[in-house]
Amino acid sequence: MTFLKLALANGASYAELMSTEACRNNLEVNDKEVKEISSGDLKTFSARVLYKGAWGLAYSCTENYAELVAHAIRNAKSMSQNIKIDALPVFSKKFKTAYKINPADISLEEKKESLLKLNNLSKGFKKIASLKLIYSDGSTIRKFENTEGSSLEWSDVYTAFMAWAFAKDSNSREDFLKIKRIRGGYELMKDAASATEEVMEKAEKLLKAEYAKGGHFPIIVDQKLAGVFAHEAVGHACEADLVLSDSSILHGKIGQKIGKDNITIIDDGTTKNWGWTPFDSEGVKAQKTVLVRKGILEGFLHTRESATIFKTEPTGNGRAETLANKVIPRMTNTVIEEGDSTFEEMLAEIKKGYYLKGSAGGQVDPTSGEFLFNAQEGYLIENGELKKYAKGVSLTGNILQTLHNIFLVAKDTDYGTGYCGKAGQLVPVSEASPHIMIKDAKVGGK
Amino acid sequence: MIDTIKNYTKSKAQSYEIFYSENDALNIELNNDETNFVSQGKTAGFGVRVFKDGKMGFSYTNNLSKYREAIDRAVKIAKLNKKDPDFKNFALKKNFTKTNNSDKELESFDAEKFSFFKKEFLGQLKSVNPKIRLSLATYIKNVSNSCIINSEGVDAAEKITANIYEYSIGIKDEGQIQSISLEEGSKKVLHPEIGKEAGERLQQFLNRKKMGSGKFQLLLHPEALSDLLSEAFSFSINAENVQQKKSVYTDSLNKQVMNKAITIIDDARKKNFFSTRSFDHEGTPSQTNKIIENGVLKNFIHSVYTANKQGAKTTGNAYRAINSLPMIMTNNILMEPGKTKDILGEVEDGLFVKSLLGVHTMGRGTGEFSLGVLEGHKVEKGEIKYPVKDVMISGNVFSLLSEVIAISKKCEEGYYGGGFSLPTTLYPKINIVGQKS
């Protein structure tokens, strides 16, 4: 508290101190060779102040809060701004990520042996040219306190596993990647063998796949890709900083119908999925925020600063990748709520179209609302049946048009995890969605 | 500090390497023409590799008071690693001439000086059209002091300055915001005149129209070409991907892999280019390497490890942070200019693509892409007709590079993750999905 008082005594209207202390282990096995075993620790300390309406921040890898506060104030002094934040009630609590098996209890030796064993699974796959397996775990202690009297601590543990198979035959090469991540422990690895086999099967299967033909079709989008669609196409456009700078196509559309009745999209920071943040980078408690309810735009994602401008409550979405970065509105766990349809009903609706599965990445231009997603795999649908296995299937379109074209929503939620990039900062996020069917989508292929 | 770390490491392992790095960074964020966030910080830390009894160990820390623990951890990890017969040595000591990669003016560039830059930049931007706004921007400046010491006698240190400015500018046009996103990177202080160029580029982007679907010639702006190369080409010339058989170039050394009009150089010595440095992050002196010469694949890009593994010479392409092992990445990518003076004049019916949406989703191993066009112009009979919207293109990067029709005489120098100098290139007809026909 001494340094927070120091900040106030030096003219700051608000100040916060933060620290992260992280330990991390990484192992990589590539084609039976151990490529990496590493282990390290990183510490960061930071002070952020609101001084005469401007945010200043300073950080360091050494704990010298007196200097950090002085530098943060100096940085704030270089701008003339009029930023305000509404006061928040005191929020003090300690959080702990739950796990079944503490990764720290498993030796690096055992982790290495298990990766080597998994790598041996490639024996049964003749066309696999290369198999890369990466395991990572870590623990982070994040501390936060501010001049409002809040004091928070989160002792977090994560585990992640990636399997990436490269297949090759005489005329083509394909790869397939799967990453599993949890806020939790080594229990994640119980599914590692099936994930490893799956990527090798899929990579080999893709060798025989034909390229999709571009054009306008009805499509079914699987849970993983639909989740990424909700995140990229809707979630980003709901971030208050983009709305404020007139860079979002959803600017000024609160209360308006932007999609069909069957579509409800929520940001949920409370579920303990990969995007979970018990408190955000500004010490605001995690919550559920409805972005779209039955097709009507209902809310945006806020930092304390943007919430004050919008005269609303902050939503717990103020996130920064590291203590050096600016806090900006970011998603946590994005959810498309279930409807009442089934995958079979969707199939039956389609004479000719595509089934898009898995996400190979996507991007959106929130200003124009244009987006692009690539599926990991696909099927040509003919007369209500899954026919040819297809590769190179992508989906492009405009957010608003597409939301009006979501014809059916199923009741079979599944999850995906990832890192979301914005303004040069990566933060962990997850998506949950059922299958959705879109009429008249623009599909790219060869 | 470095000597203390070195001496302790030396007492624990005969063969070792220390990568020590100090960074002094300034980060400024802008929104709606205003600066609204300034952050500054200094960090220092090191990564240590030890090679003991044929096995490698690696650890890192930025908690310098606990340097012994990190080094002990590396030794412990080496014990449980597998023997690696492909590891011969850390980078060997070689003589080299230093290049100057820091700029005094940029070193002392602070938030106050940035506010002068911003004022002039906005003036230039609005001189094109007063309605243009700087919607969002991030400015990052970094001064890094890195140092590599190893048991082969390498003891190299260098200061490098860099700044990167990423920004989106927009204008309200018929009720809708039209915007473009740009980035600049340099070792020197940026010139505010980039504002005028950006404004003019946005001005040309107004009144976008849909175009029909079909097959059209593709004219790639150097920025769009650098986007595609940075994914598929960089991946395929990376010796690690070659050795793991993930690259299309796996069996292609000294073979014709693209059109003979193309020569591509990876250069870490080109004066004032973004990725220029005196030595790489293993301490190998920087080089100028021909990767593609008249369409023939002449070399891959290497770290010491991959070079030793296939009996090649290292090319100085190792990059790392304190907490990572050396990774192979391109330095400055330079494509030699072609012969075409007026490349636009060569286009009969095509699409001029300046910026793409979703480039990271392309198949890096295959070169296949199916991407949105963020910034593109319809070209007919050698003239730019109109900017396009809702357009998607698909094709294969490697096929394009084989089928290139024309290469411009003029190259553009720029920054995309690393430095580049590239021409504008014209390709035969590819698939374009536009308006529903």
Q: Tens digits of per-residue pLDDT, A417-445?
A: 999 998 889 999 999 999 999 999 989 87
The CATH homologous superfamily to which domain A2-207 belongs is PmbA/TldD superfamily (3.30.2290.10)
E strand residue ranges, B270-405? 288-293, 296-297, 318-319, 327-328, 332-335, 349-357, 368-380, 383-389, 392-396
Which of chain B's residues have a Cβ under 8 Å away from the Cβ of A46?
41
Pull the structure tokens for residue B50.
């030890």
Confidence of residue A152 (pLDDT cuts 50, 70, 90): very high
Question: Do both B12 and B155 map to the same domain?
Answer: yes
Question: What distance in Å separates residue A72's CA from the closest CA in chain B?
Answer: 7
The residue segments making up the domain with residue B133 are: 2-203
Question: Do both B296 and B408 map to the same domain?
Answer: yes
Helical pair A65-77 and A2-9, crossing angle rounded to 10 deg: 30
Q: Could you tell me if B332 and B273 are in contact, meaning their C-beta atoms sit under 8 angstroms apart?
A: yes
* The predicted structure's pLDDT at residue A214: 84
Residue numbers of chain B with a pLDDT score lower than 50: none
Pull the structure tokens for residue B318.
């190792």
Question: Do both B213 and B355 map to the same domain?
Answer: yes
Contact A368 B436 (CB under 8 A): no
Which of A39, A110, A164, A239 is the best substitution to test chain B (most B C-beta atoms within 10 A)? A39
A138 or A233: whose pLDDT is higher? Answer: A138
Question: Do both B144 and B217 map to the same domain?
Answer: no
Confidence of residue A392 (pLDDT cuts 50, 70, 90): confident
The DSSP secondary-structure symbol of A392 reads S
Tell me, yes or no, if B85 comes closer than 8 A to chain A by beta carbon.
no
Pull the structure tokens for residue A353.
């179209």
The DSSP secondary-structure symbol of B283 reads S
The DSSP secondary-structure symbol of B301 reads B
pLDDT tens-digit series, residues A264-306? 999 999 999 999 999 999 999 999 999 999 999 999 999 999 9
Q: Give CA separation, A242 vs A78, B226, B395, in Å.
A: 24, 27, 32
Tell me, yes or no, if B129 comes closer than 8 A to chain A by beta carbon.
no
Question: Do both B319 and B254 map to the same domain?
Answer: yes
Number of separate domains in chain B: 2
The Cα A101–Cα A186 span in angstroms is: 5
DSSP β-bridge partners for residue B23: B43, B144
H-type alpha helices, B137-233: 194-203, 222-228
Who contacts B197 (Cβ-Cβ below 8 Å, separation ≥6)? none
Which of chain B's residues have a Cβ under 8 Å away from the Cβ of A371?
357, 372
* The predicted structure's pLDDT at residue B231: 93
For residue A446, is pLDDT > 80?
no
Average pLDDT over residues A245-259: 91
DSSP β-bridge partners for residue A268: A288
The Cα B235–Cα B247 span in angstroms is: 7
Nearest to B431 among A214, A247, A360 (CB): A214
Q: Name the residue in chain B with its Cα closest to that of A399.
A: B390
* The predicted structure's pLDDT at residue A233: 87
Q: Could you tell me the CATH number of the domain that includes residue B94?
A: 3.30.2290.10
Tell me, yes or no, if B327 comes closer than 8 A to chain A by beta carbon.
no
Question: Do both B266 and B134 map to the same domain?
Answer: no
Question: Do both B233 and B382 map to the same domain?
Answer: yes
* Domain end residue (candidates: B203, B228, B262): B203
* Domain end residue (candidates: B203, B220, B249): B203
Contact A370 B392 (CB under 8 A): no
Rg of chain A (C-alpha set): 24
CA B162 centroid distance within chain:
13
For residue A229, is pLDDT > 90?
yes
Contact B41 A214 (CB under 8 A): no
Contact B62 A43 (CB under 8 A): yes
- The rounded mean pLDDT for chain B is 95
Residue A205: CB atoms within 10 A of its CB come to: 16
* Domain end residue (candidates: B163, B178, B203): B203
Helical pair B67-80 and B2-12, crossing angle rounded to 10 deg: 30
Q: A–B: how many Cβ contacts below 8 A? A: 252
pLDDT tens-digit series, residues A319-362? 999 999 999 999 999 999 999 999 999 999 999 999 999 998 88
DSSP, collapsed to helix, strand or coil, labels residue B127 as: helix
* The predicted structure's pLDDT at residue B177: 81
Average pLDDT over residues A17-44: 95
Q: How many CA atoms lie within 13 A of B156 on its CB side?
A: 25
Domain boundaries defined on chain A: 2-207, 211-444
* The predicted structure's pLDDT at residue B66: 94
For residue A48, is pLDDT > 90?
yes
DSSP, collapsed to helix, strand or coil, labels residue B107 as: helix
Nearest to B246 among A54, A71, A130 (CB): A130
* The predicted structure's pLDDT at residue A397: 87
Which of B24, B36, B37 is the best substitution to test chain A (most A C-beta atoms within 10 A)? B37
* The predicted structure's pLDDT at residue B342: 97
The Cα A113–Cα A107 span in angstroms is: 10
For residue A1, is pLDDT > 70?
no
Which of B36, B59, B436 is the best substitution to test chain A (most A C-beta atoms within 10 A)? B36
Q: Tokens 């999850």 map to which residue?
A: A415
Q: Name the residue in chain B with its Cα closest to that of A22.
A: B61
Tell me, yes or no, if B60 comes closer than 8 A to chain A by beta carbon.
yes
Q: Range with the lowest mean pLDDT among A49-58, A161-170, A365-374?
A: A365-374
- The rounded mean pLDDT for chain A is 95
H-type alpha helices, A216-278: 223-229, 240-244
Question: Do both B100 and B234 map to the same domain?
Answer: no
Tell me, yes or no, if B81 comes closer than 8 A to chain A by beta carbon.
yes
Which of chain A's residues have a Cβ under 8 Å away from the Cβ of B77?
37-39, 108
The phi, psi pair for A72, rounded to 5°, reads: -65, -40
Which of A23, A367, A398, A401 is the best substitution to test chain B (most B C-beta atoms within 10 A)? A367
* The predicted structure's pLDDT at residue B172: 84
For residue A33, is pLDDT > 90?
no
* The predicted structure's pLDDT at residue A363: 83
Q: How many CA atoms lie within 13 A of B134 on its CB side?
A: 28
Nearest Cα neighbor of A273 from A413, A379, A398, A165 is A413
DSSP, collapsed to helix, strand or coil, labels residue B225 as: helix
